[in-house]
Amino acid sequence: MKTPDAPGRPLDADSGEPLHLQVRGHLRAQIMNHSLPPGTSLPSEAQLQVRYGVSRSVVRQALGALAAEGLIERGRGRGSTVAPRREHHRLVHRTSGLSAQLGSTGASVGTEVLSLTVRDADASTEVLGTEQVLALERLRTADGVPIAVIHTWLPVPAFSTLTAEDLHDASLHAVLGEKFGVQIASGRRQIRAVAGDQDLLRLLELEASSPVLLLEGTSFDQDGRPVEVFSTWHHPDHVVFDIDIQRDASAPAVPSGPALSSGAADPVADRARQLGAELLRFADQLSDAGH
């Protein structure tokens, strides 16, 4: 698949940033937001020279940096193409946690416990109904690559005997089931795109000002009791959120034919579309601010 030779955004010669990094940044943004999906052929070096008004050496430096990052593949006589990406898919509508879902795909999942402390409850954890909570911070990897930072709050004293050793390279939900007989049966989830702070970006090995995917929620056990409040920041390049869409049984039948486009909206589908548009706008704003 080839991409058309469209005009590029003008480079800023007065920004102090080298031109090859600006070209690399423009192309990288298009790769990351899937304007240039995997398998797409990039314009030739000559076309990129014209597009950005730079020399061939600048273009070659930019392409070399993208190749070193694993974002493109270069071949003699066949130009450059966007490289396949190793993405991990998370089904956010299911109660199974990230560890279990990744493990089911054959990925090697690792978990590092960053901290485990008892704290006073606040407004964000009052749903747990306890004066104190166990605050857990973890870093999750897949095939050795950092993909998520997880903050979890659990009620005390119900889970006060939980230890960091219990959770090393383990699933929290599995440990809750094995050690406490608690099964996660339902929950509420919210998704948003946010800017990562310095510590978060360092842990996820992301560049400054990169957006991340934040999944927040509360989980309930088999008896309907709230047992977990969590916030999970996902690496936007390595994790994809999947949502299964089903028509509400109580909703009116969707009209056929031309009226289909005006049928009742599915709120989950709408939120998925809104999130995609939000991420693209966010990435564009960050790219513009950085150049």
232-285 confidence digits (pLDDT tens):
998 887 777 666 665 666 656 555 444 434 344 455 555 555 665 665 565 555
Which amino acid does the sequence have at 177? G
Half-sphere exposure of 202 (CA within 13 A, CB side): 3
Q: Is the confidence at residue 184, as pLDDT, over 80?
A: yes
Residues 151 and 116 sit within 8 Å (Cβ to Cβ): no
Which pair of structure tokens corresponds to residue 233? 């920041």
Instruction: Label residue 119 left, alpha or beta by phi (over 0 means left) and psi (-120 to 50 means alpha).
Output: beta
Which pair of structure tokens corresponds to residue 21? 């990094």
Confidence of residue 116 (pLDDT cuts 50, 70, 90): very high
Residue 54's pLDDT is: 92
CA distances from residue 247 to 113, 199, 260, 265, 272 in whole angstroms, order as listed: 40, 41, 14, 10, 15
Q: Is the confidence at residue 5, as pLDDT, over 70?
A: no
- Partner residues linked to 118 by β-bridges: 134
Which pair of structure tokens corresponds to residue 57? 């050496």
- Read off the pTM: 0.62
- In angstroms, the first-to-last Cα distance of the chain is 28
CA distances from residue 77 to 44, 91, 137 in whole angstroms, order as listed: 11, 41, 49
Buried b (16+ CB within 10 A) or exposed e, 101-131: bbbeeebebbbebeebeeeebeeebeebebe
Residues 212 and 233 sit within 8 Å (Cβ to Cβ): yes
Distance CA 66, CA 61 (A): 9
Q: Residue 129: which of 166, 154, 93 has the closest Cα?
A: 154
What is the mean predicted confidence (pLDDT) over 9-29?
Answer: 82
Confidence of residue 157 (pLDDT cuts 50, 70, 90): very high
CA distances from residue 199 to 141, 144, 194, 216 in whole angstroms, order as listed: 16, 19, 14, 19
